[in-house]
């Protein structure tokens, strides 16, 4: 009987191992191999086309720290990411708190707030291009606000905020659902006990709600951090990095350097630096969140 159980156990282990092979091969082929090749090409001067190239060591990485264009795009990307995280967290969490209350037609509003997530990027780009080209200048004329009287995407001072608004509008949908799901797991008994003790809304939010949604907050933070530091599609759809490079992110800089300017090796080194930044900040965020979860417990 024991031998038969051992045979079944081993057979199950072999089956589990065989099932994981296709996924591991796909992951290796589509992710691990390209990353390894990227590391290799970042130490070369390859232009992405020719068969010959030279190994130049760390020259690409050393050049980054003195490249004003890279440093400018880095500053833009960091500022954009910080504003994106703040905007998405505030809007999605506020919306989730409202929907979690006893609100009539809550299902309809949940569907309405989630609607932007199902739209294609091209649709979002066309919508906001028309808004900025036609609706916003009319509003600026009506309110007599000088900065809104022209297309804000053509103004270097505010073009980033135009892209940011479109991004936040779309990116807040899924975090709203995540926060709403997290709020559903908070015991209502705790709120009732806190109300009896005379706790205010802010006290209940800080002492009860926040500790329970910290894992969700960490997830949303990392997702928006990745999207912000790697922002590419919204910029290409709305401004293409203009006007005058005012909205050039690291993502658009890497794309232009690799495919338009034929500096493939240098562009790959920029992407490797970006990868390390995302990984480092994500690890720090996870560690900090885990400590707060333990303290809350």
The ranges assigned to domains in the chain are 1-41, 59-296
Residues of the chain with pLDDT under 70: 1-12, 290-297
Cβ-count burial of 226 within 10 angstroms (0-12 exposed, 13-18 middle, 19+ buried)? middle
pTM for this structure?
0.86
Distances (CA, A) of 196 to 41, 189, 193, 201, 204: 64, 11, 5, 12, 12
| C-alpha–C-alpha distance, residues 75 and 55, integer Å | 29
Q: What is the pLDDT of residue 110?
A: 79
Cβ-contact 178, 256 below 8 angstroms: no
What is d(CA 159, CA 247) in angstroms, rounded to the nearest whole number? 7
Tell me, what's the pLDDT at 294?
Answer: 43
pLDDT value of position 1: 52
What is the reported pLDDT for 120? 82
User: pLDDT at position 2, please?
Assistant: 56
Total count of residues recorded for the chain: 297
CA distances from 226 to 41, 42, 78, 163, 171 (A): 23, 21, 11, 17, 12
Q: Identify the architecture of domain 59-296 in CATH.
A: Orthogonal Bundle (1.10)
Instruction: Please report the pLDDT score of residue 296 as a whole number.
Output: 44
Three-class DSSP category at 127 = helix
């Amino acid at each position: 009987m024991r031998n038969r159980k051992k045979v079944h156990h081993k057979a199950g282990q072999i089956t589990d191992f065989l099932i994981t092979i296709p996924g591991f091969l796909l992951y290796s082929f589509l992710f691990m191999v390209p990353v390894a090749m990227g590391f290799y090409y970042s130490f070369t001067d390859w232009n992405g086309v020719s068969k010959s190239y030279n190994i130049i060591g760390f020259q690409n990485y050393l050049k980054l720290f003195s490249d004003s264009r890279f440093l400018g795009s880095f500053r833009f990307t960091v500022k954009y990411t910080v504003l994106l995280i703040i905007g998405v967290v505030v809007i999605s969490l506020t919306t989730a708190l409202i929907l979690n209350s006893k609100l009539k037609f809550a299902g309809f509003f949940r569907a309405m707030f989630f609607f932007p997530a199902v739209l294609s990027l091209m649709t979002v780009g066309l919508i906001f291009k028309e808004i900025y080209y036609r609706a916003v200048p009319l509003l600026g004329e009506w309110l007599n606000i000088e900065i809104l009287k022209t297309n804000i995407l053509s103004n270097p001072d505010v073009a980033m905020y135009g892209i940011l608004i479109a991004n936040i509008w779309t990116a807040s949908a899924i975090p709203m659902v995540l926060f709403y799901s997290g709020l559903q797991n908070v015991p209502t008994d705790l709120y009732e006990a806190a109300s009896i003790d005379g706790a205010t809304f802010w006290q209940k939010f800080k002492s009860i709600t926040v500790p329970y949604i910290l894992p969700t907050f960490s997830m949303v933070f990392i997702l928006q951090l990745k999207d912000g530091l790697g922002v590419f599609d919204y910029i290409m759809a709305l401004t293409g990095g203009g006007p005058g490079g005012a909205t050039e992110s690291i993502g658009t800089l890497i794309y232009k350097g690799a495919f338009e300017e034929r500096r493939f090796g240098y562009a790959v080194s920029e992407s490797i630096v970006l990868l390390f930044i995302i990984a480092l900040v994500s690890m720090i965020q996870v560690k900090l969140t885990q400590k707060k979860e333990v303290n809350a417990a």
